[in-house]
Structure 1
Amino acid sequence: MKSAWIILAALIGGMLLGIGIETLSPDAGTASLPWIEPIGLLWLNALKMTIVPLVVALLITGITATADAARAGKLASRAVLIFLAAIILSGVMSLIVTPLLLRIFPLAADTAAALRSGLGGSAEAGASPSFGDFLLSLVPTNPIAAAAETAILPLIVFTTIFAFAITRLAPEQRATLAGLFKALGDAMLIVIGWVLALAPIGVFALGYALAVKAGLAAFGGLVHYVLIVSGIGVSCILLALLLAIVVVRIPPAAFVRAMVPTMAVAISTQSSLASLPAMLRSSAALGVDPQKADVVLPLAVALFRFTSTAMNLAVVVYVATLFGFELTPWEMAAGLAVAVASALSAVSLPGSISFVTSIAPIATAMGVPVAPLALLVAVETFPDIFRTLGNVIADVTATKYAADGVADNPAPTGAMP
């Protein structure tokens, strides 16, 4: 939380300085760009270099952990299927609602042009592939080349197949490979931690460059972005409430009454993990067997990020719309597939880390520029509130639904990874 506010302050400070210099002396502002902007771009490149190895490591550990959880018993396997269905549903909702919100509340043309220029207006959409080309691109002829070219979707296809193959190995071999990729992922997270420690400097430089290029319009554009993505967060919360009332058949008043303490903790901490004790109490208030809740809720905190698919896709769709990219149905399908994979393999870390590691692969798979993420991460503090709220509501809802559908005793918690 503290680091997120420091990064946000660095962005605002850089933008205010850029606007001030550009207002007082436009020539001085333009002359300063070659000296300051490369600092931000260098930090952005350092962030990008971690994406491919981290995606591979997290996807393999996520799939092996999910498979192990599904083996833990009927309750755990039912919960995993519920998690998967829910994050797909939220992603589909986002692909429908985000373009609709952008049409109803469009960004002013001059503000969009200024923001686009400040975020790298030279980015251009490539030719849209045919459906046949899209299918052929799914399976890489050379996974190493796919990684080198940052071809995320075919790399994820290969990694997913490889991860499921690992789950079929003997326990000793499975543990060895899973441990290897877990260590690789942990090492890359340490690297990302080092890179993000320099985020105030990089974001300050990028914010300064954005303000010099775009002026006051940059602030308006970022506020519009926050409102749109937060709107998808609110949509996720409403969808989770709708599922609780219609599908799980929990009386609305009883559900809200049980969830108020959990929502208070979620808003104050912006962490699903920190909200786990409160979620256990909310589940008990809704009549969930504590033994079953002890199995499903920790599993939900580890694997189930209901809002991630929707809000991550919303970020990419927003950037695509800003840069005038026309997303084809199969590009949206590719984005949804990568978003689901990212949600299942994401880690319970501060939003500034998970933002980049989860959204960059989606943007790359959909052919959308990744560079704007370096600035958008600075304003993630506000949408992250809705992410956490939606996640805890969905966690408790999924726990109630999974527990109600299983009559036998759940597997002991120690059976889970």
Structure 2
Amino acid sequence: MSRPTRILIALIAGLAMGVLLSGWAPDFAARVTMVADPTGTIWLNALRMTIVPLVVALLVTGIAATAEAARASRLATRSLIVFVALLWVSSALGALVTLGLLDLFPLHGGAATALRSAFAGAAPVDEVPPFSQFIVAMVPTNPLAAAANDAFLPLIVFTVIFGFAVTRLPAHPRQLLTDVFKAIADVMLVMINWVLALAPIGVFALAYVVGAKAGTAAFGALVHYVLVVAGAGFAVSLLAIPVAKFGGRVKLPDYFRASTPAMAVAISTQSSLASLPAMLRGTAKLDVHVATSGVTLPLAVAIFRYTGPAMNLAVALYVAHVFGMHLTATQVAIGIAAAAVTTLGAVSLPGTISFVSSIAPIALAMGVPIEPLALLVAVETFPDIMRTLGNVVMDIAATTAIARHSGAAEPAGDETDALLSGEG
């Protein structure tokens, strides 16, 4: 049984037991809650302790990898510019779509109240300062203090500047520092795997508390969450159509036929990497030369997770919605920037591993509680399908656009087949 399946079963079992015990034996359910609550909190804290070093390490190595790719060729540089622009578009569009969906289909007041009571220890992290103070606070006087206080926006600003400064060093010290941060990220991922090995226990405990306090409303709230987040991912994924049609000058029927095999692999595996061979064959059918797709698509799989900013921000906005937070324009702008920037350092691993590390910095930067993330990770399997599907369709669309504007578009089916079979 896969880890996501075990976590999902623990979620359902915890919710069900919490609902049943609270209805049949309230006093006993309260005593069990006194044990389950600290158990879930300990597991959540174990997950949280890896976030700051992991995010910093991944941002530094992500910037280094991006800079290295940009040095490789003009095609790689052009691809990176397109990818970064699309990440910002994804983030901004994701915010608009998510806020629109929550306005049109808000979580029922009773369910929201019940969930808030279940996470009674969670609260908005900080008041967002006026815009002038916000601009000043973006540059930390002490990055270590910013890390210690979970002040993620100034920490991200410092880390991004630090990462670009590393790229200006001579080759030997640059590689040395990059290797150090890569090793830190690898260690954090090992620790996260250890913590996630205990996820069924932690999620069961948290789900039990939610079920006992929120009742059956918790089930409806989780379904509502999945639909909103997946809906945001679907909406931003539709942008691949105009990118392919107008950017790549591809006929839409041809685009859909070429993309269908890669989409099928994406849905079945939830892995962009596993979809890469099908994407290469798909772009060949769209007359993209292998010299272009052979650079652009592997680069996209490595650093371009198009749906990441939109769907990560959607999760943070949903948590804010549950807690009844009325986000200011400044907070939304902070979320858009944090989502777009941190995606460059996202982990190319299953959603259960990257979920908290990708979304917590966004939520903390906006002043949104992160405690619910430990429960929401249990249903990440469903939005993760939409994440991968959106990434794949945009990877193909962006590749066609880059190819057309690079002057490298010509029939290449035989060359691509030879490359995939190891003959070329």
Contact kept, 8 Å, 2:125 with 2:364, in 1: the verdict is: no
Q: 1:23 to 1:408 in 2, by over 3 A?
A: closer
User: How many pairs does the alignment contain?
Assistant: 410
Question: Who is 2:175 aligned against?
Answer: 175
Counterpart in the other structure of 2:205: 205
CA deviations 1:80-116 (Å, max 9, x no partner) are 0000011111111111111111111111111111122
How much has 1:242 moved relative to structure 2? 2.9
Deviation of residue 241 (structure 1)?
A: 2.1
Contact 2:140/2:154 (8 A) holds in 1: yes
Distance 1:243 1:295 in 2: 19
* 1:292-337 CA-partner distances (Å, limit 9, x unpaired): 1111111000010000000000000111111121222222222112
Q: 2:401 maps to which residue?
A: 401
Aligned to 1:158: 158
Partner of 2:277: 277
Are residue 149 (structure 1) and residue 177 (structure 2) matched?
Answer: no
| CA deviation vs aligned residue, 1:89-148 (integer Å, no higher than 9, x gap) | 111111111111111111111111112211337524643310011011100001111111
State the match for 2:193 in structure 1.
193
Which residue does the alignment assign to 1:358? 358
Task: Give the whole-Å Cα distance in 2 for the aligned partners of 1:202 and 1:20.
Answer: 19
Gap runs ≥5 in structure 2: 410-418, 420-424
Residues of 2 paired with 1:300 and 1:178: CA distance?
Answer: 21
Structure 1 residues 397 and 122: CA distance shift in structure 2, 3 A: closer
> Partner of 1:129 in structure 2?
129
Aligned residue number for residue 415 of structure 2:
none
Partners of 1:72 and 1:337 in 2: CA distance: 27
Q: Distance in 2 between matches of 1:111 and 1:121?
A: 17
Cα distance in 1 for partners of 2:179, 2:13 equals: 42
Mapped partners of 2:210, 2:256: distance in 1: 43
**TM-score, scaled to structure 1:** 0.96
1:245-270 per-residue CA deviation (whole Å, 9 max, x = no partner) reads 23322111000000110000000000
CA distance in 1, matches of 2:270, 2:225: 20
Give the structure-2-normalised TM-score. Answer: 0.94
Aligned-partner Cα distance in 1 for 2:30–2:389: 42
2:347 & 2:217 partners in 1: Cα distance?
35
Alignment root-mean-square deviation, CA? 1.5
Which residue does 1:328 correspond to in 2? Answer: 328
Q: Secondary structure at the match of 1:150?
A: coil
Partners of 1:167 and 1:364 in 2: CA distance: 28
* Structure-2 change in CA distance of 1:89 and 1:122 (3 Å): closer
Q: Give the % identical residues.
A: 55
Alpha-carbon deviation of 1:18?
Answer: 1.0
Provide the C-alpha distance between the structure 2 equivalents of 1:149 and 1:125, rounded to a whole number of angstroms. 10
After superposition, the Cα gap between the structure-2 partners of 1:183 and 1:125, relative to the gap in structure 1 and judged at 3 Å, is closer
For 2:188 and 2:363, how far apart are their aligned partners in 1? 20
CA distance, structure 2, for counterparts of residue 119 and residue 242 of structure 1: 42
Aligned to 2:412: none
Distance in 2 separating the partners of 1:329 and 1:171: 42
> Which moves more between the two structures, 188-197 or 395-404?
395-404
In the alignment, the residues of structure 2 paired with residue 139 and residue 25 of structure 1 have an alpha-carbon distance, to the nearest angstrom, of: 53
Letter in 2 for 1:302: A
Q: For 1:211-269, what per-residue CA distance to the aligned partner results, in whole angstroms no more than 9, with x for missing partners? A: 00111011111111111111111102212223222332211100000011000000000
Is contact 2:128-2:134 (8 Å) kept?
no
Matches within 5 A, 1:12-411: 12-120=12-120, 123-124=123-124, 126-407=126-407
CA contact (8 A) 2:124 2:367 kept: no
Which amino acid is the alignment partner of residue 187 of structure 2? A
Cα separation, 2, equivalents of 1:350 and 1:394: 19
Q: Secondary structure at the match of 2:194?
A: helix
